[in-house]
Structure 1
């Protein structure tokens, strides 16, 4: 989520941490599972982004992860980012928040 926010909105990891993002809403137990609230800034960016901008972000994300040796297929990245944007847009229309569960 931090990477997506940096790619969509700008800023750095350090700035997000100083702002208290991402906010943990559940977890941090021994099982390693954590639930983060998607920040209002990221929610707005995802909800307002057009298809072209989302495609650019989904192309940038695998390159960013590759710097740490992680391989993410660009088609899978595109599907993840597009689906997340659709989920966030749906939640916003219902005056709801969106969350990210990490195991």
Structure 2
């Protein structure tokens, strides 16, 4: 059990607040990041903004947005063709259009 700095046992209300966390994804900081490789037959349904440092789209893979819509990919601020195979490294943002 987690004991607060004042030594008192937490109340039920404060105990529930300890776990009340909303995670918000953002661009990676420092040398760490996430890479994604989509191979032949892969489909990535992009439902929200994703931040990557490496993206490889092999021939036959596809990215689709919510409800089958389009996807936007930017690499270091430059818009790329989401339907074209390729490999990208940098500050990559993938969003459903």
Q: TM-score, normalised by structure 1?
A: 0.26
Which of structures 1 and 2 has the bigger CA Rg?
2
Between structures 1 and 2, the one with greater helix share: 1
Between structures 1 and 2, the one with greater strand share: 2
Q: Give the number of the structure with larger relative contact order, counting CA–CA contacts within 8 Å between residues 6 or more apart.
A: 1
Q: TM-score, normalised by structure 2?
A: 0.27
